[in-house]
Structure 1
């Protein structure tokens, strides 16, 4: 028989269960609603990106990033960083693009998602090639192409996009014969997939190859085919390929000495530029080519005007690339200056021409002095950081010994003292064994080795080392690599990727990022300075 007390207790228990499930359902419902909102923001941002509405697209991905971080959804956070990188890449903002790509790669390093890495790399290699780091871009592209057959991207759009980017790298390196097999494969694939946007891009590249091989009539045939497609077919993001096509058509005319035709093409192209197009490389080069055309016609007034415009745009572009020298167009700039100086001017125009040349050289000289000053200042700063770093490394061993003797947990934690001491001794033993250099060194594997759980280990490191587990491992690795690079000459000759693998990182990006965060300089500069210091010491001896 149920007593009144039992009846009340049962009803009370039932009430608690109802409230619990109600709250749980409410939480799940809220999370599900936020997830749906995040997916909606992602889709909206991608659609805006496709129609080149980059400002609103960035706003959508910023909202997505904030919400995805709240939901702790690595996949959506990675998507937000990747798409922001793609947008900045299209707008020629290389520094912002790299920052977002590296953040996406940091997440991918944790998740190990090959498909996401391929998508990020598709933009990363484009930025690297713009900054004249073609060798590094080519390695990443070939590595990604090798991985694609193992994914659902094989023989799909992303596969084709990698081919087109790799062709761009080979074109910049003037490896035309190497590019051709990839070009033929890409054209066949784009036709099969009916991707007009990528097909026209490959047709333009084909025209470029014939241009570089000085087969100007054949080049014009392919370039006019591309222009026809861009005019009559519905293609997204046609602004950049149109500028590129016009630039190379005008270049063919220029080489054939049809200067008036080249000028007409370039003027029409420049007049159609949108604001976001102005600072793209083909758009900037169009101004220089136009100046060259007027120079050949002995029209110095217009030549100077367009050369000044070119210098202004190119200066902005180089500043955005952290003042990286644009080697690709250095010959064209030199050519223009030599032509202007070498031209035989009429007596009536000679005085004006000399004044113009004087001001061009003066402005160029001032710009060179400013760039040299900034460069030397940066070098001096790096040198100071390097010297301080060497002193710290030389004192590292004695400091570490003192630290180990006196180091005690700073705060009480919810583990018994004996267990804490066992974990601390285990950590110190693993440090001596250099377990932190293994690529599979993570919180779980380390906890397993110490016969404890991840929570206890994390809490012990947080309070004993006063840093997170990730910070702790990164500090050990960077300290190790600093010391070893200083002592081991052979180790210094390794590629950055090999050094990264040697100390447990899966990519060179992680090494460079954590090295610079701890020291303030890049690994390459540190190695170069060590070699220079060693050479100087040998000479003095």
Structure 2
């Protein structure tokens, strides 16, 4: 009996020791996972997570405001004026009403003033000027904002902002009929944007510079048309259509080039071709809400019908221009002829009431344009042209005193180049080290992929262990079948697919997958695409947008940021290193 009791206590003690070891091991794993989870949460800023929820919505989509209001409120509370400016900028973009856009523009200027950051002030004043110009066609108010931005831009290092403002000043000059001067500004913008597009840029930067390039080219085409430079105009139109291509990002710009092509065809009396292109350009111009260009489109459709001796159809479009004028109280100088045509048509039909009405409309249009020109012309010469000439004069006067300074600057420039080279070398070294670590992680993951089993931690809350095991097996199957690359996958949707509820699934993922659902999904997607880039060289040829879609991520910016946060290296840098390695005979 004694022997049996002794053996029982020996076995019990051994079991206790084993349980203690397992408990300690589980506790260590749990602490490690928790530490990694809380560390990862620091990488995802609250601003980033809020903006991520709405940044991919279309322009003028008010659904963004359910998240954007929280973004703005947080920035206000924390007095983070840089984020507050961004929030108000997003407010302009997603507001569907012009008056709301203007309110957000005012708030943007206010936040920029509080920041005392000159670049933010340039951005705020340009954006407010764009609202006045683009949405209201209030050139007087727009010019005031552009000149304010010009004052701040004199000492900025941000060339993009400087040329963006020059572009808008060029638009005002073009409206006033100073086409030679405007063409010089647009040509300078084209040189700048084209030069930037040849450099290695982030996709978002490429998008902004390409937009600037295409818009400058369109405005230059308008100048060429009014200057009678039709050969240069046709060459620029062909260039614009080629550069815009079929990209969804540049549908509006392509519409402008097709409109210009239709106008060119009208000038050559190819009326049927002109009508075809003018009608093709209509949808994109309507969608852009650019009522000034829409009026131009209607005008040349009407003129083309007149050229084909179809006066009845032409009058329909000339009257559309009058409707736009009544709504917005704005008309371009080149469309003044619209009312002359309508007046003559009324005379021909002996309709005195309409003749009187259109005469009154012409007088009103002349009055509005007269006020614009009497204000804009002296102001742009005094506050922009004269100041620019004086600045150039001062520069020339100082040239005799700058020889020594130039030598010093050259030395500083050389030192700067050395520092830049050193910085780039350091960055290249860091990228290489991060790539090696990522490669080692990939090899390690490949070696242990078959050995991996879900770890069942101690029960927490009211989760039943058998149900947890079952759900973890389902998750493992979900991962094996690459279910995570589904587009638009949400917690609720995955819960339905796994036959459970979202609350239960969320708790299991938080306890066993090292983070919340979004972090878990992002990790799976980025790991998946990283493995593909390692294993199959064809993926190295894909652009960032295609790679993002391949792993279920909708936004290229979101993909790039997540790739960097999880892998510690930008996808473009990773692809370069991988291709270099393969060129050098690596696996």
What is the TM-score of this pair, normalised by structure 2?
0.47
When residues 308 and 184 of structure 1 are mapped into structure 2, their CA distance, relative to the original with a 3 A threshold, is closer
Equivalent of 1:188 in 186, 191, 199: 191
Partner of 1:77: 84
Tell me which moved more, 157-166 or 192-201: 157-166
Report the alpha carbon displacement of residue 224 of structure 1 after superposing the two structures with TM.
2.0
Structure 1 CA distance, aligned partners of 2:224 and 2:109?
A: 37
Matching residue of 2:338: 333
Cα RMSD (Å) of the superposition? 3.7
Question: Could you say what secondary structure the match of 2:269 adopts?
Answer: coil
Structure 1 residues 339 and 62 mapped into 2: Cα distance closer, same or farther (>3 Å)?
Answer: farther
Q: How does 1:159-238 map to 2 (within 5 A)?
A: 159-194=162-197, 195-232=209-246, 234=247, 236=249, 238=250
Alignment match of 1:287 (pick from 298, 301, 319): 298
Shift of 1:210: 0.7
Q: Is the contact made by 1:295 and 1:340 (CA closer than 8 Å) also made in structure 2? A: no
SS state at 1:298 partner: coil
Say if 1:243 and 1:282, in contact at 8 Å, map to a contact too: no
Give 1:68's aligned residue.
75
Listed as ranges, the gaps of 5+ residues in structure 1 are: 1-28, 319-323, 344-352, 372-541
Superposed CA deviations along residues 158-206 of structure 1, whole A, max 9, x for unmatched, are 3332232222122112112222332232111111211322222222222
Change (3 A) 1:186 1:275: closer
Q: How far does residue 142 in structure 1 lie from its aligned partner after superposition?
A: 4.1
Cα deviation for residue 47 of structure 1 reads 4.2
Change (3 A) 1:305 1:139: closer
Tell whether the 8 Å contact from 1:129 to 1:169 is kept in structure 2 after alignment: no
**How far does residue 222 in structure 1 lie from its aligned partner after superposition?**
0.7
Q: CA deviation digits over 1:387-431, x for unaligned, max 9?
A: xxxxxxxxxxxxxxxxxxxxxxxxxxxxxxxxxxxxxxxxxxxxx
Contact 2:93–2:101 (8 Å) recurs in 1: yes
Give me the whole-angstrom Cα distance separating, in 2, the residues matched to 1:139 and 1:48: 31
1:251 is matched with which residue? 263
Contact 2:346 2:354 in 1 (8 A): no
- The structure-2 alpha-carbon separation of the partners of 1:158 and 1:177, relative to structure 1 and needing over 3 Å to count, comes to same
Give 1:282-361 correspondences, 5 Å limit. 282-316=293-327, 318=328, 324-326=329-331, 328=333, 330-338=335-343, 340-341=345-346
Cross-structure match for 1:150? 155
Change (3 A) 1:107 1:290: same
The answer (yes or no) to whether the contact 1:278–1:284 under 8 Å persists in 2 is: no
Provide the rounded CA distance (Å) in 2 between the counterparts of 1:342 and 1:368: 15
Residue 109 of structure 1 pairs with residue 113 of structure 2: yes
Query: Is the CA contact (8 Å cut-off) linking 2:318 and 2:338 kept in structure 1?
Result: no
CA distance in 1, matches of 2:233, 2:293: 17
Q: Give how far 1:67 is off.
A: 3.9
TM-score (normalizing by structure 1): 0.50
Change (3 A) 1:70 1:235: same
Deviation at 1:109, TM superposition (A): 2.8
Q: Which has the larger radius of gyration?
A: 2
Q: Aligned to 1:304, what secondary structure does the other structure show?
A: helix
Cα pair distance change 1:361/1:84, threshold 3 Å: farther
Question: Following the alignment from structure 2 to structure 1, what is the Cα–Cα distance between the partners of residues 87 and 175?
Answer: 30
Cα distance change on mapping 1:189 and 1:100 into 2, 3 Å: same
Cα deviations by residue, 1:54-96 (Å, 9 ceiling, x for unpaired):
44445543342244345454433332222322455xx7x5433
The 2-side partners of 1:274 and 1:145 are apart by: 29
1:100 maps onto 2:104 in alignment: yes
How does 1:390-429 map onto structure 2 within 5 Å? none
Q: Which residue does 1:124 correspond to in 2?
A: 128
